[in-house]
């Protein structure tokens, strides 16, 4: 048994030591930095300033805008993705016994496998005001060209559209897996009882979908709090502050202005917000199921 214990520790130790260095050390270091005025371009300027960075952040208009935009982006994207995903998933369930339908499905989910940088780039080309194919099509249809990413009124909507395009397939796949796990007899029994489509959705499909969808939402919330790549290649937070999001804000403070003290405070706040949302959603899952993670 003692030998087993040695083997066990030997197998686990590299992973645990690695993860300590990757999580606890950065966390403590970031917490420490967030209470200083450290700036990498001014190496001699240090000094403990307590919670000043945090109070400056909370009163900073741009940071507030970044939080608002992040929330709008996350909520709008996830809601639209859920609706699209549900209908497409049902469509693929309906044709799942047709030969070749799995190939169509694989083609459909390609966007979610793409490098986010690439999806940002190809959409910024498509949506380019003068050269873009999107406005060309609008003109052909007799519509006025749309400013897309170039105007502060429409930029956030355009980013949401790119986000939805890339990630609807993810929720679609989860729902598809959930729907496919429903035993056929349940549908047959419902048909015998004369249940209509809404009743089938409500009483048979929803219970099966609930957990996969909640897990999918947790992942999408975390993703949206981290959203960086698409913004970085399309708008960099602009025009003005129209698409400023929290990660972009912290990144610019840290690596644009070298304000690592202030930037770290922003990063710590992002971490806290992401954790609160995850905990709430997690509680929601455990709430009824009891044994799901």
Partner 1 sequence: MYARKRLKKAVLVVVALVLTILNITPLIWTFMSGFKTRLEIFTIPPVWIPKSLNLANYEAIFDKRLHNLENSVAITVGSTAGVLLIAVPAAFALTVFAMKNKKHLEFWILSTRMMPPIAAAIPLYLGIKEIGLYDTRWGVMLIYIGFNLPFAIWMATTFMRQLPGEIFEAALVDGCSWPQVLLRIAVPLSVGGLSTVAIFTALFCWNELLLAVFLTSSNAKTFTVVLTEFVGQTNIVWELMAAGAVIQIVPIVILTFLTQRYIVAGLTMGAVKQ
Site for partner 1 in 45-104 (CB under 8 A): 88, 91-92, 94-95, 98, 101-102, 104
In contact, 136 and 144? CB cutoff 8 Å = no
**Which residues, 135 to 164, sit near partner 1 by CB under 8 A?**
136, 140
- Which residue in 74, 85, 244, 263 binds partner 1 (CB under 8 A)? 263
Q: Does 291 bind partner 1 (CB under 8 A)?
A: no
Least Cβ distance, residue 181 to partner 1 (angstroms): 5
Least Cβ distance, residue 72 to partner 1 (angstroms): 18
Enumerate the H helices of 20-60 as residue ranges. 25-33, 52-58
Least Cβ distance, residue 106 to partner 1 (angstroms): 5
Choices 14-22, 56-64, 144-152, 197-205 (CB under 8 A): range interacting with partner 1:
14-22
- Which residue in 186, 200, 226, 284 binds partner 1 (CB under 8 A)? 226
CB-nearer residue toward partner 1: 83 or 114: 114
In contact, 199 and 205? CB cutoff 8 Å = no
Distance CA 103, CA 17 (A): 43
> Counting Cβ atoms within 10 Å, is residue 99 exposed (0-12), middle (13-18) or buried (19+)?
exposed
Distance CA 269, CA 246 (A): 9
- Which residue in 156, 212, 217, 242 binds partner 1 (CB under 8 A)? 212
Least Cβ distance, residue 267 to partner 1 (angstroms): 4
Distance CA 81, CA 76 (A): 8
Q: Does 187 bind partner 1 (CB under 8 A)?
A: no
Least Cβ distance, residue 126 to partner 1 (angstroms): 6
In contact, 86 and 174? CB cutoff 8 Å = no
In contact, 267 and 250? CB cutoff 8 Å = yes
- Which residue in 79, 83, 131, 191 binds partner 1 (CB under 8 A)? 131
The torsion angles phi and psi of 42, rounded to 5 degrees, stand at: -125, 80
């Amino acid at each position: 048994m003692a030998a087993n214990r040695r083997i066990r520790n030997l197998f686990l130790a590299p992973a645990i030591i690695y993860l300590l260095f990757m999580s606890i050390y950065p966390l403590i270091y970031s917490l420490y930095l967030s209470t200083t005025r450290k700036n990498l371009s001014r190496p001699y300027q240090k000094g403990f300033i307590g919670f000043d960075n945090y109070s400056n952040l909370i009163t900073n208009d741009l940071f507030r805008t970044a939080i608002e935009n992040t929330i709008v982006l996350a909520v709008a994207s996830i809601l639209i993705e859920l609706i699209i995903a549900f209908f497409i998933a049902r469509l693929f369930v309906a044709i799942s016994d047709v030969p070749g339908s799995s190939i169509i499905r694989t083609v459909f989910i390609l966007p979610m496998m793409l490098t986010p940088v690439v999806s940002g780039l190809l959409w910024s080309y498509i949506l380019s005001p003068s050269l873009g194919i999107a406005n060309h099509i609008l003109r052909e249809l007799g519509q006025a060209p749309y400013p897309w990413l170039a105007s502060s009124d429409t930029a956030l909507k355009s980013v949401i559209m790119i986000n939805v395009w890339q990630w609807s397939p993810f929720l679609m796949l989860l729902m598809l897996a959930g729907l496919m796990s429903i035993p056929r007899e349940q549908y047959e029994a419902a048909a015998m009882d004369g249940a209509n489509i809404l009743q089938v959705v409500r009483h048979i499909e929803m219970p099966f979908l609930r957990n996969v969808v909640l897990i999918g939402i947790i992942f999408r919330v975390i993703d949206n709090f981290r959203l960086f790549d698409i913004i970085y290649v399309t708008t960099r937070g602009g025009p003005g502050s129209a698409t400023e999001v929290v990660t972009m804000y912290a990144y610019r403070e840290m690596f644009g202005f070298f304000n690592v003290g202030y930037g770290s405070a922003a990063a710590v706040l992002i971490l806290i917000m992401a954790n609160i949302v995850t905990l709430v959603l997690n509680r929601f899952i455990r709430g009824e199921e009891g044994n799901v993670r």
